[in-house]
Structure formats: C-alpha cells, structure tokens
Amino acid sequence: MLFGNATQVSELTRVMKNTFAMSFLSIETFVLPLLFAVFMSEIKNKKYKSFVQTMTTIPNFISWVLVYSVAFSLFSTTGMANTVLLNLGITDAAIRFLDTDSHTWLKMLLWNQWKTLGWNSIMYLAAIAGMDQELYEAVRVDGASRFKLMRHITIPSLLPTFFVLLMLSVANILTNGMDQYYVFQNAFKKERSRE
C-alpha cells in the first residue's frame, strides 16, 4: 500500500532524503560539542565560565516553538536583522531569511547547534573533570603549552566518550527531531523540510 501510489512514493523519497541529509549533517558536526567542552575547560575565570556554560545550556530547555519565535523576531522581513540592515543602508529591501528554500538544511543545522551545543558538551565536561590532573602537571613541567595539553592529553582522553556518543547518534539516524522541522516549515521550504 505504501509503494502502490506514485505520489506516496515521491513524498516518501523526499522525506527520507531530507531526514538522511539532516542526520548526516548533524553527524558531521558532532565534534563541535567536544571542541566546545575542551575550550570551556581552558577558561580560568570561574564566573565567566559559569556564565558561558549557563547561557549555552539554557537553549536546550526552550521549546522549538519559542526558538522559532526568536528566529521570527530576529530574521523575519520586519525583524531586528532586516530593520538594522535597512536603517544602515546596507540593503534596499528586506531579506527573506525565513521565507526562502535556499540553505534550509544549513539553517536548520545552525538552529539545532545553537539549541543543543551547551547541553551536548556536558558529558565531555564531566569527562574532563574526571581526568588525572597529575598527568597535566607532569606535561606542564616538561614545558608543554595549553594547546599541546589540549592536543596530546585532553582530546585523546575524550575520544572514548566521543565514540560512544557518536555511536548512539548514528543509531538514532532516523529520529533527528521532527518538531524543529514542523515549526520552521512553510510553503517556501516544503521541498527541503520534513512533514
């Protein structure tokens, strides 16, 4: 029954293409929370570190409907970005950021990264907190810089955690968040978003 109708087959093909495209883009950017956690661990100012951690974790608890409200306030034709661009004389007409089919997958990926980056880095921050500090001290005595510490100790120590989380992400390749695409979908982006 699913493959008996040509329209159903074309819709199924479109939905699966978009699902796989967004899933593969998410997997390609799966290293970003690891890098974010490594750089967060290098911040020495505790208040600033707590502020950044809090500000990057809070979006995870915001629903996609509110995320779209933020996107609409910022990037609609009457939103803040267009108002600033028009007032500065950079553009003559409002740019249709949300109403075009161009770069839909990239836009969805960026909104997803904004929403989940801080939350996804928590596992790596916990792994960094559990690392043996004597190893860092021994390498510092040998004269290693902060970047060498990150490259030769921190990142290799995080690789087991990274691969476990990557395998869990690959296992969920077909469940990459319908609610985001449903909220951001409109008639202009129907071909590149899922229903």
The per-residue pLDDT for range 154-173, each reduced to its tens digit, is 999 999 999 999 998 888 78
The pTM assigned to this predicted structure is 0.79
In the chain the domains, ranked by start, together with CATH numbers, are 13-59+104-183 (1.10.3720.10)
The per-residue pLDDT for range 35-89, each reduced to its tens digit, is 999 999 999 899 999 999 999 999 999 988 898 888 889 988 888 999 999 999 9
Rounded to 10 degrees, the C-alpha dihedral 26/172/22/10 comes to 170
Alpha helices in 88-192 (DSSP H): 104-120, 122-129, 133-141, 146-149, 155-171, 178-184
Phi, psi dihedral angles at 124 (to 5 degrees): -70, -40
Cβ pair 182, 195 in contact under 8 A: yes
Instruction: Compute the distance between CA of residue 83 and CA of residue 86 in angstroms, rounded to an integer.
Output: 5
